[in-house]
Structure 1
């Protein structure tokens, strides 16, 4: 490797509203003496640029989608059409659409890596970004690795080709590894279990957690994209039920929809208005990491009612801050939260169970204190952002050695 401490780092549409994890991992790589060279597919919409580090991140990022049709026409004949047509035969014509979109970006990635002496690219996606890295490799560029953050069905067609040529992959849960082994048994590179992580030095309390006091409103905080699968509508319904039963509860939800406020946010606004909760439920929009931390430290409870969640950095951030946390027994969340130990788990799509869990924490201060303490200890041990960076660097050097 011409520059053994330089790593290509490819994240789609970076920096997005949920991308604080990547920024922390970049910092952890730098602390290890590795220089991450940032690549992305395209810039995020203006309404999703929320972090105080977003401008600095964009200034450092090369956007591979900004390429010419002339380059695409030059690259297409040089792609491995036999393999790609076999993928299309299995997965349908959508494979060919992805090929057309990604071909020129693959050559652009190869050229940038050649100029900067990069012999390995880590891709935090198994969607089109992974196909771009695979094309760069085919065209004579660097090898690549992948991180799988969710079910393979979320990442589009052509997966066999993307995985078959990767040097290694990190996967965030045991559940996802089992699914991959069942679905692509003959096409997998070495896979390493490595959950996402958080900055435990930054996400911590300076003062002890204080449960809700008699006569005080229970302050509930949620953080996640405004999308139906995040279950914010179920959390709003749980708050409605508690208030209808005479319990004083307030809720703040941080996050934005993928349309910058013109999508699912409108549905939630109508729901809040319908239940006359305007004085008790607030949609904060996309807010930066410092604001998320401030609200976590003010909250009595963090709750995220996802219908499906591969693992959940938002849960980790709340637990790291010592906030009693309620999650759903969906996806990989039970690998992070052991019910009654690091937090409470309820079924997805169950507002009544969610309301009961909120009330349980409000009425049992000893439980709230215990969840605050045991949860924080688990995050420190198993979910520090530096652990993911260490695995990427170790596996990269092993592959190149």
Structure 2
């Protein structure tokens, strides 16, 4: 089967950390015998190339010097800062439509898989106009919240895109619910998952609690309001007289200075690290006691689409604590494969951390149940099997060449 993935950004070289779960999915599709390829925008004039053996078709949409609407940061962030980038979505979408139409006139694909359908569903429509193919949409949640919060005039566009697609897929039950609020169509739920090998069947790491060492709490994510790291720092401040703890925070973002100041003010040991190589991230997981993802609903109404850092931790058999928001409850079954707490509640977060750190038997049970949940619900074998089924059903629903001419 020939599959074309339509994306807003894709790695330019091995140093790029962009959607590693999507790269892994495409690699696995190719290993299974599918001819999976990528259609993505250019970056400063970059041309077609291969990445990790995956053919990547790049299209030009602006003068090379300013051709950077995507990749290094989100298009929304660039558009907030620059009038030029606020004007760029129109040529971006139109150039993409023309380029995908030309590509699909030249090449035949069985499935066109559209990631981020707002606005990339237009590219899917252009691909289908060029040559008959099944169109599958994947929603990640944030684009739906953009529409509801700031772009309500695009509600009709979302309905149009979903009704014209052969299959509509959401990454979580919460995102599926948000789609159904806008349009009455069947929605499948297929999450993405971790690209890390984890610890395999090795036993969980023994908790530091009780041996005099501080408990190491790991946070992995962008330093933005949505991720809620400030509430973890506040929770650690509440724990100062009850148990020794330190936070390792891996990620970059505009909140870095504010969070560093908060940690100093609360006298909390936080080891802030930037984006790190996989080897260093692997070591961080191996040497941490608990992973905490304290996500919230931010001032713009956005929240966690899924929470892949939780799956990363489960692959290393680390107990997890997270907020009950967005797609997180799909991953964490409260009290079984982790603990869930109300968002933006540092006291509840502190109590959950103390409960896990103070009971190594309970922590081990959570960690082992988390690893089993990853294996049965979020493994690559499970996910690729679901995608194969979606593609087969979508392709089978297409009219045959003879029937389309009659």
Counterparts of 2:91 and 2:255, CA distance in 1: 30
Quick check: 1:200–1:380 contact (8 Å CA) kept in 2? Answer: no
* Superposed displacement of residue 274, structure 1: 3.1
Give the 3-state SS of the residue equivalent to 1:338 in structure 2: coil
> CA separation of 1:292/1:351 partners in 2, compared to 1, >3 Å: closer, same or farther?
same
| Closer, same or farther: CA 97–200 of 1 in aligned 2, 3 Å | closer
Deviations 1:265-310 (A, max 9, x none): 2322332333344xx2022111233432321121100001001322
Question: Cα gap change, 1:180/1:31 in structure 2, threshold over 3 Å: closer, same or farther?
Answer: same
2:163 aligned with 1:153, yes or no? no
- Distance in 2 separating the partners of 1:265 and 1:343: 27
TM-score w.r.t. the length of structure 1 is 0.79
Separation of aligned partners in 2, 1:17 and 1:240 = 33
Cα deviation, residue 120, structure 1: 2.0
1:289 equivalent to 2:278? Answer: yes
Provide runs of 4+ in structure 1 moved above 6 Å: none
Distance 2:391 2:56 in 1: 21
The reply to whether residue 397 of structure 1 matches residue 396 of structure 2 is no
Residue matched to 2:399: none
Paired position in structure 1 for 2:61: 67
Matched, 1:10 2:40: no
Deviation at 1:354, TM superposition (A): 0.9
How many Å separate the matches in 2 of 1:276 and 1:238? 12
**Quick check: 1:356 aligned with 2:351?**
yes
What's the RMSD between the two structures over aligned residues? 2.8
- In the other structure, the counterpart of 1:378 is 373
What is residue 103 of structure 2 aligned with on the other side? 112
CA contact (8 A) 2:170 2:188 kept: yes
Cα distance between partner residues in 2 of 1:231 and 1:383? 24
Match of 2:294 among 290, 305, 308: 305
1:25 corresponds in structure 2 to: 25
Q: Which structure 2 residues correspond to residues 244-259 of structure 1 after superposition, within 5 A? A: 245=241, 247-257=243-253
Give TM-score, length-normalised by structure 2. 0.78
Cα displacement string for residues 293-342 of structure 1 (whole angstroms, at most 9, x for unaligned residues): 32112110000100132221111111221101000011222222111100
Greater relative contact order, per chain length (Cα 8 Å cut-off, separation 6+)? 1
- Equivalent residue in structure 1 for 2:231, among 234, 254, 257: 234
Whether the aligned pair in 2 keeps the contact of 1:8 and 1:38 (CA below 8 Å) is yes
Q: Deviations for 1:67-100, whole angstroms, at most 9, x for unmatched residues?
A: 359xxxxxxxxxxxxxxxxxxxxxxxxxx98555
Query: Does the CA contact (< 8 Å) of 2:218 and 2:249 recur in 1?
Result: yes
Provide the rounded CA distance (Å) in 2 between the counterparts of 1:388 and 1:166: 21
Whether the 8 Å contact between 1:234 and 1:350 is mirrored in structure 2 is yes
CA-CA distance at 1:33 after TM superposition = 1.1
What CA distance in whole angstroms lies between the structure 1 residues aligned with 2:93 and 2:314? 38
Superposition map of 1:148-227 within 5 A: 148-150=139-141, 152-154=144-146, 157=154, 158-185=157-184, 188=185, 190-199=186-195, 201-202=197-198, 204=200, 206-214=202-210, 215-227=212-224
Q: 1:18 to 1:325 in 2, by over 3 A?
A: farther
Distance 1:59 1:26, change over 3 A: closer
**Could you give the per-residue CA deviations for residues 32-82 of structure 1, whole angstroms, max 9, x where no partner exists?**
2112112223559xxxxxxxxxx9459843333x2359xxxxxxxxxxxxx
**Superposed displacement of residue 183, structure 1:** 1.6
Contact 2:41 2:61 in 1 (8 A): no
- 1:266 maps to 2:266: no
The 8 Å contact of residues 28 and 386 in structure 1, kept in 2 or not, is answered as: no
* Kept after mapping to 1: 8 A contact 2:217/2:247: yes
The superposition leaves residues 208-243 of structure 1 with CA deviations (integer Å, 9 ceiling, x where unpaired) of 421224201100101111210110111122122222
